[in-house]
Chains A and B, each alone.
Chain A
């Protein structure tokens, strides 16, 4: 029988109203959709006619009516009887508005469950009283911990099937509490319910007078909104830098969302990992009153007093507060959803705060079976639905926080072949003895098949030291013209020299690369190609735009043991390593060639002929 629930009444109106996302999870068939459907029906939150329409549909198709059908709005779902995706529904109590995310319990759809749960502020976890704790009851519990959801209520459902027995409920409560403790979770409520009959959902059950705790609706109302994090250090992942000059707007605006903390106009700020410093000049917005302070949760933008170059992938921090960490080695917990297993040595992409960077799996410490928390430290790859503690290494340094300090900048996803294939949290920064590329070169040099002709023989014959000459500078500055002229002059002087044009490698060995997105892979291949030429005793000349310190380091390492000479033409982005030669104005090509040739002679790359 339906009785009007006590906690449903007029919702507070206006700006003091609150909204909260709650995810409902649990093993397949433990009754999630039924619980949500009933909750919507009992609180009068259904659109008029929806209940009747579904009832009529069931009658027409000779199916018994179930509350779950209200949610399973898609044909495919009704046919299979399982929730495929995270359906959202809206519902209100006297306390606040809720967005309920109905997450699928079937293991096939785990990534959908994760998508739902990652948006939630609290979770309602269902366990079937008759079936007890199942594989996904545990896996979902583990994932809540990984996703950082701390407010949990456990509903032991289908109590009607076990005659509303207290001992059944208490056994499940005891066992599941023990499990959750291992993943550092402690649920706030355990509630015995029968979603089908509405017991302890919105109204107290007459069948279970032994239970004195809150109903599901009351438990939800007792969850608290997560604090916004204004008291934490300021973190502002830079999404973009805008300048709409062509529309008559000269502001240069650093755009993003304040994840934690606050910042005021006039504050000194530092971009990490680049270390560039500036000061907030103004806080910008459209159709809003002027602001002197921006705070956690706001999507906003700043102008700066000094116009520093802002590379991609930065987090803006305040100079007077603890800075985000920077580094290339991250100890993490990650959960894998990809169709292909995650393997050591393959290049992936990491998305962390606003950063997108190449990343490798360096080492697997342990793989955790999330269904029983058993550990395995011998496996060498991370399979679908595995959770692993491992070491990741990025190509360039990234800025981040340990998740225990600041969750928002301590989480990441891994992209494999265009897909989000993994997600995880950063436990701490590590320093590796040797980066991946050095490790690779070390192994390469150890097993390299050497012929009987030694580098010295080649050097004596060619009267030169093999080297890579790298011309860097902005696009359109005339690098390739200089490179070609240099090649010609050295060739005419009898040197063994080759000019490798960018297009030639893109047409050949790199023809599989999407040029914009796979620059790191292009750099890696360039380093390996250079090594083949230099190992053959040649002087290889090539050009590259926007070379940064990390790319140069990678090329140098890959070209080992042969040297790499850097000639910067025009402006350049090298901060830590200095170019061997910097030509600011390359107006006179023969003069530039002369300078490069002098450098090669002075540094003994071109040996004098002794006739």
Chain B
């Protein structure tokens, strides 16, 4: 087995532990390359099936290609897709692009709050009917107790402290200094009522591993990752007002891999195009403690 086989095997093992342990399991799908690899690994783990719903938190500021891609593959792969949104903040224009709040406050409202309340079922969920391709609304859904997330340890400091199975409190809060031990391949699959567990099958993967796996498995990803002829591409996807493309002429997966291995991005952090990380010195950690992915 090579290192990609080892990473794949461990991720599959984690998926199956999660599926076995959590009755109300959901997987977050951000449409980016990591969570798309995550989705692919789920199909590996369950022999072509995805036996739990996927949840996307839509901020209404996502780059349009991301939503097109989402809906296309949700139909093609017959996914149970749930979309959550902070309707109130968006409708009342309490957002950063509207000039009302800071970037971090905007992330907290449109992503963290929307996620928290869609997970718990307090806010309505829009659910895709895979047969008709239409969305319908579900009120008072069941709270999810297991949430699969595509976070990687190499993304930034706070994520390097995560466990494969990481408990969250009633308010999705994360107790960084008091995390459960993980021994060998035994994870925290027991949880008290009212709490939930976040599951991280991609924790040991690096950005380079992700692209190597996309290449090996021939996984379709959003076209935004590739240079479309203007010498620019996205390295990390998010909301358009806060995510900038990078200068790059990589047009294929192979060229991206080359760029990461020895080219211009070998030593530049992946999230360098994400503005919210830069506010306040440790923006992402502040966000993550209160429930951000």
Binary interface encoding of chain B residues 64-97 relative to chain A, with 1 for a CB under 8 A from any of its CBs, else 0: 0000000000000010000000000000000000
Q: Is A437 in the interface zone, CB < 8 Å from B?
A: no
Q: B204 touches which one: A74, A99, A109 (CB < 8 A)?
A: A99
* Chain A residues whose CB sits within 8 angstroms of the CB of B2 once the complex forms: 15-17
Binary interface encoding of chain A residues 284-326 relative to chain B, with 1 for a CB under 8 A from any of its CBs, else 0: 1111000000000111010000000000000000000000000
Q: Is A546 in the interface zone, CB < 8 Å from B?
A: no
Chain A, Cβ-Cβ closest to B42: A286
Chain A, Cβ-Cβ closest to B44: A286
Q: Does B157 contact A228, Cβ atoms closer than 8 Å?
A: no
Q: A244 touches which one: B47, B180, B204 (CB < 8 A)?
A: B47
Q: From residue B235, how far is it (CB to closest CB) to chain A in Å?
A: 13
Q: Does A297 contact B49, Cβ atoms closer than 8 Å?
A: no
Q: Does A297 contact B9, Cβ atoms closer than 8 Å?
A: yes
Q: Is A255 in the interface zone, CB < 8 Å from B?
A: yes
* Chain B residues whose CB sits within 8 angstroms of the CB of A49 once the complex forms: 268-269
Q: From residue A600, how far is it (CB to closest CB) to chain B in Å?
A: 41
Q: Does A88 contact B154, Cβ atoms closer than 8 Å?
A: yes
Q: Does B47 contact A285, Cβ atoms closer than 8 Å?
A: yes
List B residues 159-212 near A (Cβ within 8 Å): 160-161, 163, 176-177, 179-184, 186, 188, 190-193, 203-204, 206
Q: Does A287 contact B217, Cβ atoms closer than 8 Å?
A: yes
Q: Does B47 contact A251, Cβ atoms closer than 8 Å?
A: yes
Binary interface encoding of chain A residues 46-78 relative to chain B, with 1 for a CB under 8 A from any of its CBs, else 0: 111110000001000000000000000111100
Q: Is A167 in the interface zone, CB < 8 Å from B?
A: no
List A residues 452-493 near B (Cβ within 8 Å): none
Q: Does A239 contact B20, Cβ atoms closer than 8 Å?
A: yes
Q: Is B261 in the interface zone, CB < 8 Å from A?
A: yes
* Chain A residues whose CB sits within 8 angstroms of the CB of B180 once the complex forms: 111, 419-420
Question: Please, how many angstroms separate the alpha-carbon atoms of A550 and B209 in the complex?
Answer: 47
Q: A87 touches which one: B161, B190, B193 (CB < 8 A)?
A: B161
Q: Is B100 in the interface zone, CB < 8 Å from A?
A: no
Q: Does B1 contact A228, Cβ atoms closer than 8 Å?
A: yes
Question: Please, how many angstroms separate the alpha-carbon atoms of A74 and B281 in the complex?
Answer: 10
Question: Please, how many angstroms separate the alpha-carbon atoms of A423 and B203 in the complex?
Answer: 22
Q: Does A299 contact B156, Cβ atoms closer than 8 Å?
A: no
Q: From residue B200, how far is it (CB to closest CB) to chain A in Å?
A: 12
Chain A, Cβ-Cβ closest to B21: A356
Question: Please, how many angstroms separate the alpha-carbon atoms of A44 and B43 in the complex?
Answer: 37
Q: From residue A487, how far is it (CB to closest CB) to chain B in Å?
A: 34
Q: From residue B100, how far is it (CB to closest CB) to chain A in Å?
A: 27
Q: Is A349 in the interface zone, CB < 8 Å from B?
A: yes
Q: B177 touches which one: A50, A84, A114, A412 (CB < 8 A)?
A: A84
Q: Does B157 contact A349, Cβ atoms closer than 8 Å?
A: no
* Chain B residues whose CB sits within 8 angstroms of the CB of A286 once the complex forms: 43-44, 46-48
Q: Does B6 contact A247, Cβ atoms closer than 8 Å?
A: no
Question: Please, how many angstroms separate the alpha-carbon atoms of A411 and B185 in the complex?
Answer: 10
Q: Which of A17, A286, A418 has the most CB of B within 10 A?
A: A286
Q: Are A88 and B19 also in contact (CB < 8 A) when A44-B267, A297-B5 are?
A: no
Q: From residue B152, how far is it (CB to closest CB) to chain A in Å?
A: 10
Chain B, Cβ-Cβ closest to A284: B47
Q: Is B262 in the interface zone, CB < 8 Å from A?
A: yes
Binary interface encoding of chain A residues 385-407 relative to chain B, with 1 for a CB under 8 A from any of its CBs, else 0: 00000000000000000000000
Chain B, Cβ-Cβ closest to A44: B267
Question: Please, how many angstroms separate the alpha-carbon atoms of A287 and B20 in the complex?
Answer: 23
Q: Are A244 and B49 also in contact (CB < 8 A) when A17-B3, A18-B3 are?
A: yes
Question: Please, how many angstroms separate the alpha-carbon atoms of A247 and B19 in the complex?
Answer: 17
Chain B residues within 8 Å of chain A by Cβ, number: 58
Q: Does A287 contact B191, Cβ atoms closer than 8 Å?
A: no
Question: Please, how many angstroms separate the alpha-carbon atoms of A253 and B158 in the complex?
Answer: 38
Q: Does A299 contact B188, Cβ atoms closer than 8 Å?
A: no
Q: Is A256 in the interface zone, CB < 8 Å from B?
A: yes
Chain A, Cβ-Cβ closest to B191: A418
Q: Is A536 in the interface zone, CB < 8 Å from B?
A: no
Chain B, Cβ-Cβ closest to A413: B186
Q: Are A242 and B6 also in contact (CB < 8 A) when A75-B282, A76-B176 are?
A: no
Q: Does B161 contact A47, Cβ atoms closer than 8 Å?
A: no
* Chain B residues whose CB sits within 8 angstroms of the CB of A299 once the complex forms: 8-10, 12-13, 16, 45
Q: From residue A71, how far is it (CB to closest CB) to chain B in Å?
A: 8
Q: Is A128 in the interface zone, CB < 8 Å from B?
A: no
* Chain B residues whose CB sits within 8 angstroms of the CB of A85 once the complex forms: 161, 176-177, 179
The DSSP consensus for interface residues of chain A is: mixed
Chain A residues within 8 Å of chain B by Cβ, number: 70
Question: Please, how many angstroms separate the alpha-carbon atoms of A85 and B44 in the complex?
Answer: 31
Q: Is A19 in the interface zone, CB < 8 Å from B?
A: yes
Q: Is A130 in the interface zone, CB < 8 Å from B?
A: no
Question: Please, how many angstroms separate the alpha-carbon atoms of A159 and B127 in the complex?
Answer: 63
Question: Please, how many angstroms separate the alpha-carbon atoms of A303 and B102 in the complex?
Answer: 55
Q: A89 touches which one: B12, B160, B261 (CB < 8 A)?
A: B160
* Chain A residues whose CB sits within 8 angstroms of the CB of B104 once the complex forms: none
Q: Is B259 in the interface zone, CB < 8 Å from A?
A: no
Q: Does B177 contact A240, Cβ atoms closer than 8 Å?
A: no
Q: Are A423 and B4 also in contact (CB < 8 A) when A10-B262, A256-B16, A299-B9 are?
A: no
Question: Please, how many angstroms separate the alpha-carbon atoms of A75 and B45 in the complex?
Answer: 37
Q: Does A412 contact B186, Cβ atoms closer than 8 Å?
A: yes
Q: Are A114 and B47 also in contact (CB < 8 A) when A44-B267, A47-B268, A99-B204 are?
A: no
Question: Please, how many angstroms separate the alpha-carbon atoms of A280 and B204 in the complex?
Answer: 32
Q: Does A257 contact B267, Cβ atoms closer than 8 Å?
A: no
Q: Are A423 and B161 also in contact (CB < 8 A) when A19-B3, A242-B46, A415-B190 are?
A: no
Q: Are A255 and B16 also in contact (CB < 8 A) when A13-B261, A85-B179, A112-B181 are?
A: yes
Chain A, Cβ-Cβ closest to B2: A15
* Chain B residues whose CB sits within 8 angstroms of the CB of A588 once the complex forms: none
Question: Please, how many angstroms separate the alpha-carbon atoms of A434 and B46 in the complex?
Answer: 43
Question: Please, how many angstroms separate the alpha-carbon atoms of A9 and B1 in the complex?
Answer: 24
Q: From residue B98, how far is it (CB to closest CB) to chain A in Å?
A: 30
Q: Is B256 in the interface zone, CB < 8 Å from A?
A: no
Q: Is A359 in the interface zone, CB < 8 Å from B?
A: no
Q: Are A47 and B269 also in contact (CB < 8 A) when A75-B282, A418-B192 are?
A: yes
Q: Does A90 contact B154, Cβ atoms closer than 8 Å?
A: yes
Q: Is B285 in the interface zone, CB < 8 Å from A?
A: yes
Binary interface encoding of chain A residues 252-290 relative to chain B, with 1 for a CB under 8 A from any of its CBs, else 0: 010111000000000000000000000000001111000
Chain B, Cβ-Cβ closest to A13: B261
Q: Which residues of A contact B (CB under 8 A)?
A: 10-11, 13, 15-19, 44, 46-50, 57, 73-76, 84-90, 97, 99, 109, 111-112, 114-115, 118-119, 147, 228, 239-240, 242, 244, 247, 249, 251, 253, 255-257, 284-287, 297-299, 301, 337, 349, 351, 408, 411-413, 415, 418-420, 423, 514, 517
Known: A19-B3, A97-B3, A244-B51. 4 other contacts (CB 8 A): A46-B267, A285-B44, A411-B184, A419-B190
- In order of increasing CB-CB distance, the 7 nearest A-B pairs are A73-B157, A299-B12, A111-B181, A47-B269, A423-B183, A85-B161, A413-B186
| A/B interface sample: 20 pairs, CB < 8 A | A15-B2, A47-B269, A48-B267, A57-B281, A73-B156, A73-B157, A75-B281, A87-B157, A90-B206, A118-B181, A119-B182, A244-B51, A285-B44, A287-B217, A298-B9, A299-B13, A337-B181, A411-B184, A514-B193, A517-B190
Q: Which residues of B contact A (CB under 8 A)?
A: 1-6, 8-10, 12-13, 16-17, 19-20, 43-49, 51, 78, 153-154, 156-158, 160-161, 163, 176-177, 179-184, 186, 188, 190-193, 203-204, 206, 217, 261-262, 267-269, 281-282, 285
